[in-house]
Amino acid sequence: MRDTEILVTHHKALMELSHNASFIELPRPRKLAALVELCTRLLGLKRASVWLFPPERDRIRCEWLHDEEQPDRNSCISQKDSEFNLFRSDHPEYFRAISEERVVAVNDARNDIRTRSFDRDYLSVQNIHSMLDAPIFDGEHLSGVVCLESDVRRDWSVPDISLAAAIADTISLMNTHEAWLRSKRALEYVRHYDSLTGLANMESLRDRLGHLVRKITRRNTGSLVLLWIDVDRLKTINDGLGPQAGDDVIAEIGQRLKEMQLAGKDLLARIGGDEFALVIRNYTLPDFLDEAIQDIQHRIRQPIRVSGQNLNVSTSIGVCHFPGDCQEPEELLRGAEAAMYHAKRQGRDRSTLFDSEIQMTARSRFALENELREVLKVDGLDVFYQPIMDRTGTQLESMEALVRWQHPERGWLSPIEFLDIARGAGLMYELGACVLKRVCAHWRDAKDRNILLPTMSVNLSSEQVLMPELPELVQQICHHQSMPVSALQFEVTEDSIQGDFSIISRILEQLVEAGAELAIDDFGTGYSSLSRLKSLPFSRIKIDRSFINNLPDDENDCAITLSIIGLARGLGLSVVAEGVENDAHEAWLFDKGCDYLQGYRYSKPLPYPEFLSCYFSD
């Protein structure tokens, strides 16, 4: 038979094997076995194998061996079997050849420079005279070889080489497909599971609730309950011991919940930073649920050893039933979450059943969230301003912008009425941008009236100071109004600088480089460390109003305020006292050298037109 006919026959046999549906479904070892058996049968060889480079690439290891004379050895080879590991240091010429020449066709293997180093320990032992190796790839990287061995001297023909290369290419395609499957599985895992705890995530929870609700509705029988479990005061742990300690606590709680044996336990998921959800099917009567919730809270209250100390943690739990409390999976989620928040407001470490009163609150909150989204789309929030005076309380030094929302039905809403909703809905960055746009527009309006406003102070949320694009956004908004960034001062709370320090410091440095000033707001109430404060480009400290309220009568508040003023002096920072409401406050702070004063002693926050009228009228 001519070489061309042999080549066609070989490739037809390979195509029939590799494209067979049953072959495609085989596990990798059985695919390798079928491929090398086909090769030995078509070429009349006694021995063929598949070898892999491990990640170190310092050797080549046999993955599969087919030996006609010793069929008991036809199998996957253990990685620990030293007989089937060939090291680069012992066979440099072979490794060079397979890397550069790719196909290594050797007729006299015991004397060829590329393979003769195998003779004493391998070729003579196995009675091998000729070798034909073809490369296997994983993507663009050489990952192994198909090795054909003849026990008689053989001049490898073009059909021989072609078949060996085709077998190697088939394994290369298997590698590519397997890599794609691994990536797909990894992506599916990321989509449906939490990386810290290994539990299902919110997407998995939604899928499961949808399935169960449809099943109960279709059969008109069965019930389920969703427990929304929130870890109380995890932020305190994060701030005091660092985020790793918080992760350790969450991981331990997840493990404890996973190990719990509860009748009807269906799905446990981690659905937020400090939140878990537990689905219980059918076992939903009050007595059973009360016992299950008490068991959950008891287990979580047990001390958790973190960073060399025992931490005591509690949980707030919201409970929502289907059917009964809601009709749709999303309503079930919102109901359980609303009940959990109600439990927190009642004092934490307790559980609350969803009821009509909570339902009204949840609906109101949901409606307000949707309305806030629409308002932010058109930059519809407004800004009031409160003056910051010099130390004598007579001269305007700067002005703080305070967000307000003029709701069509509820009138003016203060931040306390909607900031929590904005934070829960992930809208804080958009809200901050809306406020900044309004402030810059007011600055431009005043300039057009030949009024030069003092420095305008704007609050930044913790969500904003972690966004790398914030400095660019500030410059774009200012540029749009032809306003210098130096006309702005940004206030951040101590809690806002507890995140990734490298990111936060870079963002704050860029704001200062653009011209803005920075102030620490509500100083003394958060968890900031002095090392962070001195490393960040702040120029001002604002003493929280809680320390000013009882001045000068409360000795503790006097001592704290004096220490903050002294700390500011040591760091070269100016000081603003918030909450100045009477002559006694003003006189004491003036005497102690406080630089600036802010509070109702001078003015409540005013709408922009009233502020201009009050401080810039002729």
Q: Would you state the pLDDT for residue 527? A: 46
Q: In this structure, are 424 and 523 located in the same domain? A: yes
In degrees, rounded to 5, the angle at the alpha carbon of residue 173 between the alpha carbons of residues 169 and 175 is 115
Task: Read off the amino acid at residue 587.
Answer: A
Tokens 């449809």, located at residue: 214
Joined tokens for residue 572? 């070269």
Average pLDDT over residues 6-34: 87
What Å distances lie between residue 389 and 10, 140, 337, 548, 593, CA to CA? 92, 68, 44, 16, 14
Residue at 195 is within a domain: no
Tokens 């919102």, located at residue: 334
Q: Would you state the pLDDT for residue 589? A: 93
Q: Is residue 264 pLDDT above 70, yes or no?
A: yes
| Confidence grade of residue 512 (pLDDT, cut at 50, 70, 90) | very high
Q: What is the rounded CA–CA span in Å between residue 185 and residue 105?
A: 39
What Å distances lie between residue 340 and 126, 244, 330, 337, CA to CA? 72, 25, 15, 5
DSSP state of 494: G
Residue at 359 is within a domain: no
Residue at 29 is within a domain: yes
| Confidence grade of residue 396 (pLDDT, cut at 50, 70, 90) | very high
Question: Which among 464, 541, 477 has a CA at the least distance from the CA of 508?
Answer: 464
Q: In this structure, are 207 and 122 located in the same domain? A: no
Q: What is the rounded CA–CA span in Å between residue 210 and residue 216?
A: 10
Q: In this structure, are 224 and 171 located in the same domain? A: no
| Confidence grade of residue 1 (pLDDT, cut at 50, 70, 90) | low
Joined tokens for residue 318? 């919201």
Residue 479, domain CATH? 3.20.20.450
Q: Would you state the pLDDT for residue 56? A: 80
Q: In this structure, are 174 and 71 located in the same domain? A: yes
pTM of the predicted model, to two decimals? 0.52
Q: Is residue 75 pLDDT above 60, yes or no?
A: no
Q: Would you state the pLDDT for residue 79? A: 44
Q: Would you state the pLDDT for residue 494? A: 76
Residue at 92 is within a domain: yes
Joined tokens for residue 402? 């305070």
327-350 tens-digit pLDDT = 888 888 988 988 888 888 777 788
Q: Report the phi/psi class of residue 240: left, alpha or beta, with left for phi > 0 and alpha for psi in -120 to 50.
A: alpha
What Å distances lie between residue 449 and 323, 385, 402, 445, CA to CA? 62, 18, 22, 7
Q: Would you state the pLDDT for residue 71? A: 66
Helix, strand or coil, per DSSP, at residue 208: helix
Question: Which among 132, 266, 154, 288 has a CA at the least distance from the CA of 204?
Answer: 266
Q: Which of 137-141, 182-186, 460-464 has the lowest mean pLDDT?
A: 182-186
Q: What is the rounded CA–CA span in Å between residue 133 and residue 52?
A: 12
DSSP state of 171: H
Domain final residue pick, 166, 188, 210: 188
Average pLDDT over residues 460-469: 87
Q: Which of 228-237, 286-295, 367-376 has the lowest mean pLDDT?
A: 228-237
Joined tokens for residue 170? 């088939």
Joined tokens for residue 59? 């050797």
Residue at 196 is within a domain: no
**110 or 120, greater pLDDT:** 110
- Taking all residues of the chain, what is their mean pLDDT, rounded to a whole number? 87
Joined tokens for residue 451? 């009024």
Average pLDDT over residues 185-195: 72
The answer to whether 435 and 458 are in contact (CB under 8 A) is: yes
| Confidence grade of residue 80 (pLDDT, cut at 50, 70, 90) | very low
Task: Read off the amino acid at residue 427.
Answer: L
Q: In this structure, are 223 and 324 located in the same domain? A: yes
Q: In this structure, are 593 and 473 located in the same domain? A: yes
Q: Is residue 188 pLDDT above 70, yes or no?
A: no
| Confidence grade of residue 187 (pLDDT, cut at 50, 70, 90) | low
Q: Is residue 165 pLDDT above 70, yes or no?
A: yes
Residue at 362 is within a domain: no
Positive or negative, the CA dihedral 462, 464, 469, 471 is negative
Q: In this structure, are 172 and 209 located in the same domain? A: no
Task: Read off the amino acid at residue 518.
Answer: L
Q: Is residue 250 pLDDT above 70, yes or no?
A: yes
Residue 235, domain CATH? 3.30.70.270
For residue 408, what is the enclosing H or E element? Answer: none
Q: Would you state the pLDDT for residue 438? A: 95
In degrees, rounded to 5, the angle at the alpha carbon of residue 291 between the alpha carbons of residues 287 and 296 is 145
Q: In this structure, are 481 and 611 located in the same domain? A: yes
Q: Is residue 361 pLDDT above 70, yes or no?
A: no
Q: Is residue 430 pLDDT above 60, yes or no?
A: yes
The answer to whether 564 and 540 are in contact (CB under 8 A) is: no
Q: In this structure, are 181 and 298 located in the same domain? A: no
Q: Which of 52-61, 86-95, 120-129, 178-187 has the lowest mean pLDDT?
A: 178-187
Question: Which among 5, 13, 14, 33 has a CA at the least distance from the CA of 170?
Answer: 14
Domain final residue pick, 164, 188, 212: 188
| Confidence grade of residue 433 (pLDDT, cut at 50, 70, 90) | very high
| Confidence grade of residue 78 (pLDDT, cut at 50, 70, 90) | very low
For residue 350, what is the enclosing H or E element? Answer: none
Highest mean pLDDT among 223-232, 332-341, 552-561: 223-232
The answer to whether 199 and 269 are in contact (CB under 8 A) is: yes
Tokens 């989204």, located at residue: 373
Q: Would you state the pLDDT for residue 155? A: 92
Q: In this structure, are 56 and 98 located in the same domain? A: yes
Q: Would you state the pLDDT for residue 357? A: 67
DSSP state of 497: G
481-499 tens-digit pLDDT = 999 999 999 999 877 776 6
Average pLDDT over residues 228-254: 82
Q: Would you state the pLDDT for residue 82? A: 46
Q: Would you state the pLDDT for residue 356? A: 63
| Confidence grade of residue 502 (pLDDT, cut at 50, 70, 90) | confident
Percent of the chain with pLDDT over 70: 93
Residue at 516 is within a domain: yes
Q: Is residue 526 pLDDT above 60, yes or no?
A: no
The answer to whether 302 and 284 are in contact (CB under 8 A) is: no
Residue 106, domain CATH? 3.30.450.40
Joined tokens for residue 236? 């305190």
Q: In this structure, are 130 and 217 located in the same domain? A: no
**277 or 355, greater pLDDT:** 277
Q: Would you state the pLDDT for residue 4? A: 83
Number of structural domains in the chain:
3
Q: In this structure, are 503 and 587 located in the same domain? A: yes
Q: What is the rounded CA–CA span in Å between residue 590 and residue 600?
A: 16
Domain final residue pick, 188, 216, 242: 188
Question: Which among 147, 140, 179 has a CA at the least distance from the CA of 164?
Answer: 147
Q: Would you state the pLDDT for residue 400? A: 96
Residue at 260 is within a domain: yes
**83 or 326, greater pLDDT:** 326
| Confidence grade of residue 575 (pLDDT, cut at 50, 70, 90) | very high
Q: Would you state the pLDDT for residue 186? A: 67
The answer to whether 488 and 478 are in contact (CB under 8 A) is: yes
H-type helices in 147-242, by residue range?
Answer: 158-192, 202-219, 234-241
Question: Which among 580, 112, 109 has a CA at the least distance from the CA of 391?
Answer: 580
Which phi and psi (to 5°) does residue 475 adopt? -65, -35
**First and final C-alpha spacing in the chain:** 110
Structural domain containing residue 466: 369-616
Q: Would you state the pLDDT for residue 349? A: 82
